[in-house]
Amino acid sequence: MDAKTAKAILEKFEAFLETIPLADYRTELEPVKTVEQDLPKELNPLPAIYAKYWVSAPTEFPNFEDFFHSWWTDHLRPLDAFIRKYFWGCSHEFVYLGFKARLYRTLISVLTQFHFSYSWLAYCGLPLEASADLDMKGIDALVHCQEKTVALQIKKETYRAEARERGRFAHRKISVNFTVEIPYTIVLPDEWQQRVEKSRKEETRKRYELFALLAEKLQRWLPNGFVVFQPDYPRLVERLIQEEIKQGRHGTIKWQETLERAQEWVRANET
């Protein structure tokens, strides 16, 4: 995909993200935790999410209500088997709402991940690959550089369970040279700065400074509160990958190292 097409997709995607009524869904769905079982392969929502939201040309993206209704009607047979096993005797409304809440949490996490990947395609030079199959193996995206392969893991700094349920930190069946953890935060910059000022331990203060940098410099909030990424964030990760490949890096670049390197480069550019 060329950068012009990627930027056009990114623009349409951001416009779609702005329309998601996060506050309304937070009220309706956040308290609902009724469907917490491991889902069978037939009910994994990732293939449907990728089919509708990971695209190769600018398009109109479906809202969550339409997406969930389509997913539900397309999976009636495996849903019936799952409901008979775990929710026999429960009302249709009870189970429907439980699945709706479960898929909403997964979808929001994946959409955030997609924004980073679309931003990469728009602003970076190294090729990026993403698919439902990779995601189910715990890899959000693969970056290819000099015959090397690097895995990306994009995750909320709280590392809550709903982010991990998609295969985070899973044992991968794909060989990569190393993995880069790419954190994001839903905590506003002012709150992180307050934590910096109130921290008593040096280690804690440094960690909060990294998250303050993340919130202030590397991401931004859409009017509805959806977290998206500044163009410099994927650029910095690309630079990190290129430098670490030259050093023969293996293993995992943890989120803290990712932010420390970003902090170093941001401060150098500001002086």
As a whole number of angstroms, the distance between CA 41 and CA 144 comes to 28
Q: pLDDT, tens digit, for every residue of 110-166?
A: 999 999 999 999 999 999 999 999 999 999 999 999 899 999 999 998 644 444 444
As a whole number of angstroms, the distance between CA 155 and CA 140 comes to 9
Q: Please state which of the ranges 65-79, 81-95, 115-129, 223-237 shows the lowest mean pLDDT.
A: 81-95
Which pLDDT score, from 0 to 100, does residue 89 have?
A: 85
Confidence band of 90 (pLDDT split at 50, 70, 90)? confident
Beta-carbon contacts of 202 under 8 Å, excluding residues fewer than 6 positions away, are none
Q: Where are the domains of the chain?
A: 3-111, 126-270
3-state secondary structure of 233: helix
- On the question of pLDDT at 172 being above 60, the answer is no
Alpha helices in the chain (DSSP H): 3-18, 22-29, 46-53, 64-74, 76-86, 92-123, 132-136, 161-164, 189-198, 202-213, 232-246, 255-270
State the average pLDDT for the chain.
92
Q: pLDDT, tens digit, for every residue of 203-231?
A: 999 999 999 999 999 999 999 999 999 99
Which pLDDT score, from 0 to 100, does residue 157 have?
A: 80
As a whole number of angstroms, the distance between CA 117 and CA 204 comes to 30
Q: How far is CA 180 from the centre of its chain?
A: 13
As a whole number of angstroms, the distance between CA 40 and CA 84 comes to 14
Q: What is the pTM of this model?
A: 0.92
Angle at 247 between CA 246 and CA 251, to 5 degrees: 115
Q: Of 169, 147, 152, 161, nearest to 233 (Cα)? A: 152
Burial of 248 (0-12, 13-18, 19+ CB in 10 A): exposed
- On the question of pLDDT at 267 being above 90, the answer is no
* Residue 235 identity: R
- On the question of pLDDT at 191 being above 50, the answer is yes
What is the pLDDT averaged over residues 160-178?
Answer: 57
CA–CA distances in Å: residue 72 to residues 36, 47, 103: 17, 13, 10
CA dihedral 132, 25, 65, 161 (to 10 degrees): 20
Which pLDDT score, from 0 to 100, does residue 173 have?
A: 65
